[in-house]
Chains A and B, each alone.
Chain A
Amino acid sequence: QVQLQESGPGLVKPSETLSLTCTVSGVSITSYHWNWIRQPPGKGLEWIGYIHYSGNSDYNPSLKSRVTMSVNTSNKQFSLRLKSVSAADTAVYYCAGEGTPGSYAFDLWGQGIMVTVSS
């Protein structure tokens, strides 16, 4: 059974760095483009960026200056770092996979992790 599981702190202080990890099971980490997507409370979805097992990545231009993604194929994990966070970064963060090349659609999702930015 394919599963994605987000992990990391649920509370981050303003101006600090948010760090999350997604662990992939039931599918090869080389099979997908791996993405991070977030959803502020009561609001819509926002794509943060993707990373490929090769290390290729791309980020939402609106967040690009603050985002870094990485992948660890041995541990079947990929990670998100978002620096200089503020209250506006409070959201549920999802990891997601784009399984069909060229579909630009996310057919695998983690359960999400709520991250609150507050002192």
Chain B
Amino acid sequence: SYELIQPPSVSVSPGQTASITCSGDKLGDKYACWYQQKPGQSPVLVIYQDNKRPSGIPERFSGSNSGNTATLTISGTQPMDEADYYCQAYGSSTYVFGTGTKITVL
């Protein structure tokens, strides 16, 4: 089955840039998207089709996808960005989520 692997945690200082990677076999050949999930809340789509932002998502969120790795970048990270982030792609007839990354802003 298809797997997407993320680092368990990333730490970033306020105002700095945070990057989260998502690794999967030939992921660059598929569309990747990213979700933000805060404690006790439903996930929110922040990036779709590799690098598109849904309406209402701040410009500091950006994405890329090439080769075996998709990347979510948060520029000028704010304390409100502290959350779990999940990548997701469609492969082998299933929608697959990544293992999740907790971003800590300190």
Instruction: Please tell me if B61 contacts chain A, counting CB pairs below 8 Å.
Output: no
Would you give the shortest CB distance from B16 to chain A, in whole angstroms? 26
Q: Is the CB of B43 within 8 A of A110?
A: no
A-B contact count (CB 8 A): 61
Residues of B within 8 A of A111 (CB): 42
Residues of A within 8 A of B31 (CB): 102-105
Complex CA–CA separation, A61 to B96 (angstroms): 11
Q: Is the CB of B43 within 8 A of A103?
A: no
Would you give the shortest CB distance from B22 to chain A, in whole angstroms? 12
Task: Give chain A's interface residues, CB within 8 Å of chain B.
Answer: 35, 44-47, 50, 58, 60-62, 94, 100, 102-107, 109-112
14 contacts between A and B (CB under 8 A): A35-B95, A45-B43, A46-B97, A47-B94, A47-B97, A61-B1, A94-B43, A104-B33, A105-B45, A105-B48, A106-B88, A107-B45, A109-B43, A110-B42
Residues of A within 8 A of B95 (CB): 35, 47, 50, 60, 104
Q: Is the CB of A44 within 8 A of B99?
A: yes
Residues of B within 8 A of A46 (CB): 97
Q: Is the CB of B93 within 8 A of A58?
A: yes
Q: Is the CB of B94 within 8 A of A61?
A: yes
Complex CA–CA separation, A45 to B93 (angstroms): 17
Lowest 3 CB-CB distances: which A-B pairs, in order? A105-B48, A104-B90, A47-B95
Residues of A within 8 A of B1 (CB): 61-62
Complex CA–CA separation, A61 to B1 (angstroms): 9
Chain B residue nearest to A48 in the complex (CB): B95
